[in-house]
Amino acid sequence: MRKVMIGVLLCCLLVPLELSASKVEIGKNKEVLLDGKPFFPIMLWLQKKTSMAQQKEMGFNTYAAQGDKSSAKEYCDEAKKNGVYTILGYKKEEVDSVKEHSALLGWFYKDEPDMAGKDKAAPRIPMSESIAVYEECKKADRGHLMFLTLTTGYAKTSDANSAGNKGKDLSFYKQYAKATDFIGYDTYPIYGNNMPECLFWVADAATELDKLMEGKKPLYAWIEANGGSKWITPSKQRHPLPFEIRCEVWMAIVKGCKAIGYFTHSWVAMDQIGNPASTLKRGESKYYTQFGVPENNKQEIGKINKQITKLTGPLCSADVKDKVKTDNKNIELLVKEYDNKLYIFAVNMKRQEEKAVFAVSGLKEKTKINVDEENRDITAKDGEFEDSFKEHEVHIYIMEK
């Protein structure tokens, strides 16, 4: 009987998602609603449609941009066949062909419009153009969302993307609130900067962007998945480690992101990344792939994605304030109440081991607290429980209210 049940479960997991996106909107918690139901986009950037069938097994549910020369309709049709959604590059002439398509989640305009152009002036896309395209898109299709990805040029970090804007007038960033429904950012501490000690940039960038948007726009973050950038000498590169990817994802979510995506492109052959014998210079490799993720990271990303999907309900619910406190300032918390359960998402922001005590209002003595996906429970004592964290470790606690 157990084998039969496992077989049935596996079959259910392999059945494509029944798509329903006739009405896409932002809910009261800044979550995505598909026909009134909460949805947490887990995105891939710029992939060819023939990759969907294999990649969907890792738990991706949304494809942003078209990594091939297919039409909007062809890309949406392939997405529907595989039970995933699309966010398409906006082309006015293609809107009518797909705006009623069940696989369409939304549109985006030019990527990273805020970065400096050839004249070293930012933004490279005039703000008036970004706003005008958004307004045109909403007139053409009010049933879907516009997405916009920024660099972290607005952030107070040493990220290569923000360094060039130091001392410049960055007031234009606030105007992006008029140019999109859903705003995101990309910062790659390892892939783009070779600085694994700066994973916290992912969290800080979300906090700063939310302030710029005055807390009125839902956020999303792009997460690095592999090495192979054009900006670092191949012998000096490395892939982000699985625990680093997990931490970046949950940093973004704990800081308010309502969607995440993965950047998986590589310009360096796998055997040259981090190879001390490599003689390739920065930007020299002519190798390119849209999905250069090593096997261990594929497995970890699959686990992360499936855990997020499982927790969509609580993640899309309202934040709970002042019910949970910790004695460790290095542990960031996101607290939710959903379906008569309390959820605590806890992220160690430091590259060091930490211990934390969690005080939970109304927590009963000897309550069993499940640590999600870790096959262990913790028993509450005196209205508290405690736990240990490895460097940049993430724990998700679930308990009955």
Query: What CATH number is given to the structural domain containing 357?
Result: 2.60.40.1180
Sign of CA dihedral 130, 172, 42, 265: positive
Domain final position from 266, 293, 315? 315
CATH number at residue 156: 3.20.20.80
**Phi/psi class of residue 392: alpha, beta or left (left: φ > 0; alpha: ψ in -120 to 50)?**
left
d(CA 376, CA 329): 24
Provide the pLDDT for residue 163.
Answer: 60
DSSP 68-127: SS--HHHHHHHHHHHT-EEEEEP-GGGHHHHTT-TTEEEEE-SSSTTS--TTS-S-SS-H
Inside any domain, residue 219: yes
3-state DSSP call for residue 81?
Answer: helix
* Integer Cα distance of 301 and 309 in angstroms: 12
Looking at the structure, tell me whether residues 352 and 281 fall in a common domain. Answer: no
**Which pLDDT value is given to residue 10?**
41
Q: Which residues contact 107 (CB under 8 A, 6 or more apart)?
A: 87, 88, 89, 90, 137, 141, 144, 145, 146, 147
81 and 60 in a common domain: yes
94 domain-assigned: yes
Model pTM score: 0.94
Instruction: Assess whether 59 and 138 both reside in one domain.
Output: yes
148 contacts 108 by C-beta, under 8 angstroms: yes
- State whether 164 and 263 are in the same domain: yes
- Give residue 3's pLDDT: 44
Q: Does one domain contain both 300 and 379?
A: no
H/E stretch holding 335:
strand 331-338
User: What count of residues does the chain have?
Assistant: 401
How far apart (Å, rounded) are the C-alpha atoms in residues 98 and 375?
A: 44
> How many beta carbons lie within 10 A of that of residue 138, not counting itself?
15
Six-digit token pair at 99?
A: 């705006």
**pLDDT recorded at residue 168:** 75
Rounded to whole angstroms, how far apart are CA atoms 18 and 27?
21
pLDDT < 50 stretches in the chain:
1-16
Please say which residue of 315, 350, 384 terminates a domain: 315
Number of folded domains that form the chain: 2
Query: Which domain does 355 fall in, by range?
Result: 324-400
Residues 238 and 155 in one domain: yes
Let me know whether 224 and 104 are in one domain: yes
Q: Which of 315, 335, 362 is the last residue of a domain?
A: 315
Please choose, from the candidates 351, 259, 368, the residue with its C-alpha nearest in 3D space to the C-alpha of residue 305: 259
Is residue 196 domain-shared with residue 260, that is, in the same domain?
yes
382 and 298 share one domain: no
